[in-house]
Amino acid sequence: MIRLEGARIRLGTFDLSVDDLEVEQGEYLLLLGPSGAGKSVLLEVIAGLRLLDEGRVWIEGDDATRWPPERRRVGLVSQRPSLFPHMSVRRNIEFGRRYQRVSAAEFGRRVEAAVAMLRIEGLLGRSVTDLSGGEAQRVTLARALVTEPRMLLLDEPLGPLDQNMRADLAAELRRVHAGLKMTTVHVTHDQTEARALADRVAVMEGGRICQIGPTEEVFERPTCEFVARFVGNVGPRTSDFGPRTNGA
């Protein structure tokens, strides 16, 4: 479980402010919003890549506010695969062993399990420079999973892919999550990804969470005009969001 309490961080003129956010064990939470809403910053706070100015981060009941990323045991997959071009696919997947206090046999078991789950056995001997975008993201995901992280953090992992590859990798993410039930936080601006993947959606704008709830509830019953317009639900119910000021 992940929980943020009174989380505040200032980055130049940008402020992230999250009063209370809880991600349940095994949940797939998707952070949705336009560019600049603070989604990736919030993900980096959870990962420990950015430390809060105020507030607390709790991971499985422990105060992790000042923990470095390696102690938080996160698996991070970014928009651009961060693979080592001078290594084979297998060596890239095995790279995390140097940070793991496990035997070679145990780590080998993990590698085999991740490779089988993602169905990338045929890629192991190849250079990563020869991979397609979707293949590279699968390898990056396998490298994250072999460390057996507490949580999986995905920062627009489908962003650079074409439509067919996006659909294929989204299906893989659904299958991996169904198999592992790993707590997952996924950042995107794409509403199709939200509907396809998430248990719950948190819509962000201006460094704040505007609405959070079950995916279909957020899309069908937005609670403010910004969320309604962002998800495309701007029918007559828009007037229910409260009075508009002059010029709004």
The answer to whether residue 144 sits within a structural domain is yes
- Residue 57 within any structural domain of the chain: no
Token pair of 75, please?
A: 């698996």
* Residue 234 is assigned to a structural domain of this protein: no
pLDDT in tens, 84-130: 999 999 999 988 776 677 788 888 899 999 999 999 999 999 999 99
Within-domain flag for 119:
yes
Domain extent, residue 101, equals 83-149
> How far lies 94's CA from each of 19, 44, 71, 87, 157, in Å?
38, 24, 19, 10, 21
Please check the confidence at residue 193 and state whether its pLDDT lies above 80: yes
Is 41 within the bounds of a domain? Answer: no
> Is residue 22 domain-resident?
no
Q: What percent of the chain has pLDDT over 70?
A: 92
The domain total for the chain is 1
Q: What is the pLDDT of residues 122-178, one digit of tens each?
A: 999 999 999 998 899 999 999 999 988 999 999 998 887 888 888 888 888 998 899
Please check whether residue 210 lies inside any domain of the structure.
no
**Closest by CA position to 44, among listed 60, 26, 31:** 31
95 located within any domain: yes
Whole-model pTM: value is 0.87
Averaged pLDDT score across all residues of the chain:
88
pLDDT greater than 80 at residue 239: no
30 phi/psi in degrees, rounded to 5:
-115, 125
Is the confidence at residue 67, as pLDDT, over 90?
Answer: yes
